Chain A
Amino acid sequence: MSTDAFSPLQGGAFLEKPPTGTFFKELFTADELFMAESVQQFMQKEVMPCAAAMEAGENGQMPGLLLKAGELGLTGAALPERYGGLNLPKTTQTLLTQCTAVCPAFAVACAVHSGVGALPLLLFGSDEQKMRFLPELAAGRKIAAFALTEADSGSDARAAHTTAVLLDEGGYRLEGSKAWITNGGFAHLFTVFAQLNGQFSAFLVESDAPGFARGREEQKLGLHGCSTRRILLEGALAPADSLLGEPGQGHLPAFCALNPGRLAIGAIALGMGRRALALAVEYAKQRKQFGRAIAQFGLVQRMLAQSAAQLWLAECALYRAAGEMDAALLSGAPMHLALADCAIECAAAKLICTETAQQAIDACLQIHGGYGYSEEYAPAQLYRDIRVFRIFEGTSEVVRLSLAEAWLKRLREGRLKEPQKGDQTADRLKQAAFAALQAGFEGFGRVQEKQQQAADLSDIAIAVYALEAAEMRSRQTIRNRTLAETAFQLALQQQTMHCNVLLQRLPGGQRVEMQNDLNAYELNSTLAQLVLENEGGVF
């Protein structure tokens, strides 16, 4: 993405400087928590009664639910007040999004609508375009979708084949098709990316445009309640004022909106992972084998403890990223630059939340044994639904590479420097990763030919980001202090071990010392006990 013209911001600063603070859940005010409660009640009273029918493929109910979410204020949470939104901080938005995860199909539909659906317009629309559409989107009366991907261009989005031609009589004619469009079955407004005279550009296309058609519902592995379709543009006519931003600048709305989108996807995944842990705890307590609840068995405890520690770590990273995005937005920089600057942080949050949630859901299914494999129990659907989170809004592989790429680029341009010395595990990991980066990428060059090394270095950076957040939180948090500290110690051990494996194989990499000598077996069962006492939640 174009990053010219901005340097005052601090994206990726954690790779150089020691942490100075983080946002964590205990900092939410009473009314922010009350908002979260409202969203939970909304989910229980309005959405969950429709969840089974939607899972069965009847997504005719989704537009009505999004309209109700508009009445609640959820769909406008990110938008400014002048468009009927609430202009909530990213931290609060993240909390509310996490609360919607109890119905992943709804959560994704809502997040796509108010995130990548509405944000390109907010960031790059003219005043007229914004006044025309944003109030409708904020209220949920019109639904938005993001049409970037094509059958042949996914991760390589700028290679899109869809074309737009400026017509003599004014307006544009669009030709091509877009694939995997969330909300495709009912959305009214599409941000469509197309080549205008060979220049990658963005257009606002309404569903009633002549030549616009929707494809069939895709038969997906999961998220059955969520509409995913192709969009067919067969000479679709878009009016003269449908160009979003400047011609040739389509990459800006595409990539700037992706960062908050990644946070939202991370938040939903985390919510799903947390639900899986709660389900696993509940089941492990009541399922008896060999005369005992299986929660008493060491191997079940280990699964619970590891899920809990990793989820806790992921949560710390997610809210740190949300807090840093709020700080960037308040820095006075133009909004799209502020959002673009958070690329590394959002990549870290997305990756750790989605990968962790997948593992926690897998463990939950495993603890359920044969019942976990049955569609009659909750884990099976969670297992299907979570899988796409490692694919959409950037596959895990692309996210890792984009993080490494951004790190290298910032080093190359002098916007980031060698990490400062420190004696925490995170500091040493940073230094070790930097040494390997220097050894492996001469002049901090590009990642293409060294994807494996780049991805390993990203993993270390993500571990550092999360561990720092977790360390700061476990020092400050009041609620469930023992649980927080135990989760931190276990996560620290696991992450150090994992990073050491990576450092051992990276050219120029050197292992770092394990900082605590706590017995891993005991740590697992201590944390499992605490998690069982707390019903799997509340940290």
Chain B
Amino acid sequence: MKIFTPIKRVPDPYAKVRVTEEGRLDSEDLKYTINPFDEIALEEALRLREAGEETDITAVAVGNETCVDQLRQALAMGADRAILIETEAEADAMMVSIWLAELCRQEKPDLVLMGKQSTDEENSQVGPRLAGLLQWGQATFASKIEADEGAHALRVTREVEDGRETLQVALPAVVTVDLRLNEPRYVALPAILRARSKPLQRIAASDLAEPVPGIELLALETPPPRAPGRMAASLDEFCSLLQAALNAR
């Protein structure tokens, strides 16, 4: 099975982010990492391989040269090769989907396995849009993935409001993954050294397609600090405080 795992370079979700005066993210002191949901997707691809399926895994990133760090990280985790779709543009979800779709048309993976969302913008858009552009089946928010033997399909369990839902999705397909699917491994040090010499291909985004941005980022603002809470001495006081707060609205 040929698997694509798109990975996004995002600020470390545990880092404190600052906004510059121009309303942009202050990236100077920021640490970047693979979007944790994408890391889970890559881990799942590795597990499918370890379960016996013959698998070729390609990590794909969209962005500039800085993304090479995250692609090398994916190679160290176990991806066989990496592709960087090179662009300096502040790409929105639609643009990313169009580029990925074009790459999928050329490379014909059986499965695109990716995070349900990225931790920086939390749009949850690229997976579904990609499936739409390719007219492939999709299963989102996967919490369990099993290869359906011989059927050339996957059984995907999703956690929905009132329980679990199990889908069978024919390949090729796009599957987006949720947090509880697995816990990514830590990488052995020799694998990090070996990743230096694994193939990493660069493709100019403009050679794939020239999409027009649909969304423009106007400004970022830091939310105002929250006013400190108040401890109520009794349930009665709590209720009257609550009532006063509601009345004030």
Contact = CB atoms under 8 A, between A and B. Distances in A.
Interface of A: 30-31, 34-35, 37-39, 41-42, 45, 71-74, 77, 86, 88, 96, 478-480, 535, 538
B196 A31 contact: yes
A42 B185 CA distance: 9
Given A30-B69, A31-B76, A72 B188 contact: yes
21 contacts: A30-B69, A31-B69, A31-B72, A31-B73, A31-B76, A31-B193, A31-B195, A31-B196, A34-B69, A34-B187, A34-B192, A35-B192, A37-B186, A39-B189, A72-B188, A73-B188, A73-B189, A86-B193, A478-B28, A480-B29, A538-B29
Given A86-B193, A479-B29, A34 B76 contact: yes
A292 to B, nearest CB: 13
A538 B186 CA distance: 22
A88 B76 CA distance: 16
Contact of B189 (A72, A480, A535, A538): A72
A30 B9 CA distance: 13
Main secondary structure of the interface of B (DSSP, over half): helix
Interface in B205-222: none
A31 B192 CA distance: 7
Contact of B188 (A38, A45, A480): A38
A480 B28 CA distance: 9
Interface in B97-116: none
A39 B188 CA distance: 9
B72 A86 contact: no
A302 B79 CA distance: 49
A31 to B, nearest CB: 5
Contacts of B69: 30-31, 34
B224 interface: no
Given A71-B188, A73-B188, A34 B193 contact: no
Interface class of chain A by DSSP: helix
A72 B188 CA distance: 4
Q: How large is the interface on B (under 10, 10 to 19, 20 to 34, 35 or more residues)?
A: 10 to 19
Contacts of A39: 189
Given A31-B72, A478-B28, A479-B29, A38 B190 contact: no
A45 B184 CA distance: 11
Nearest to B196: A31
A37 B77 CA distance: 13
Contacts of A45: 186
B1 to A, nearest CB: 27
A38 B189 contact: yes
A538 B72 CA distance: 23
B72 A74 contact: no
A31 B198 CA distance: 13
Contacts of B193: 31, 86
Nearest to A41: B186
**Which 5 pairs between the two chains have the least Cβ-Cβ distance?**
A73-B189, A41-B186, A30-B69, A38-B186, A38-B187
B19 to A, nearest CB: 15
Contacts of B189: 35, 38-39, 72-74, 77, 86, 88, 96
Contacts of A88: 189
B230 to A, nearest CB: 15
A30 B29 contact: no
Nearest to B30: A479
A75 to B, nearest CB: 10
Contacts of A31: 69, 72-73, 76, 192-193, 195-196
